[in-house]
Amino acid sequence: MQGVLHASRPAGRAPAGGPRRGPANMAGPNDYATKATDIPMLELLASAAQRPVVAVLAITGALLVSAGALAASPDPKAPPRTSAQYLTVAGYALTIASIFLFIAAGFLSGQ
């Protein structure tokens, strides 16, 4: 509070011992601003969570799931084709990865 005079010290002078920054004169929380992109692992996450990457993963996943459905046997009693199952699982994996990256991009957007 500036402008308030204290009886123990004259106006305009700092307290004895200089400015205090917390326990044992450690730096305060705002002295060293750290952004999420300053941490190497978060740099990778921030670059992977960009819009074009998320969109390509989602579209590729949807195409793979559709290709898996087309490659499946039209006869419901026939055993499922292995290639169709792999395409479907890979498509769902890419789609889920794009969802997680989309959520991460939302958390990183405030940085």
Angle (nearest 5°) at CA 48 between 46 and 49: 65
Q: Sign of the C-alpha dihedral, residues 22, 23, 27, 28? A: negative
Record the pTM.
0.60
C-alpha–C-alpha distance, residues 94 and 102, integer Å = 12
Q: What is the pLDDT of residues 25-71, one digit of tens each?
A: 555 555 555 665 567 778 888 888 889 999 999 999 999 999 999 98
53/9 Cα distance (integer angstroms): 61
| Secondary structure letter of residue 35 according to DSSP | -
DSSP conformation letters of 44-61: HHHHHTSHHHHHHHHHHH
Confidence of residue 93 (pLDDT cuts 50, 70, 90): very high
> How many residues are given for the chain?
111
Count of C-beta atoms within a 10 Å radius of residue 57? 21
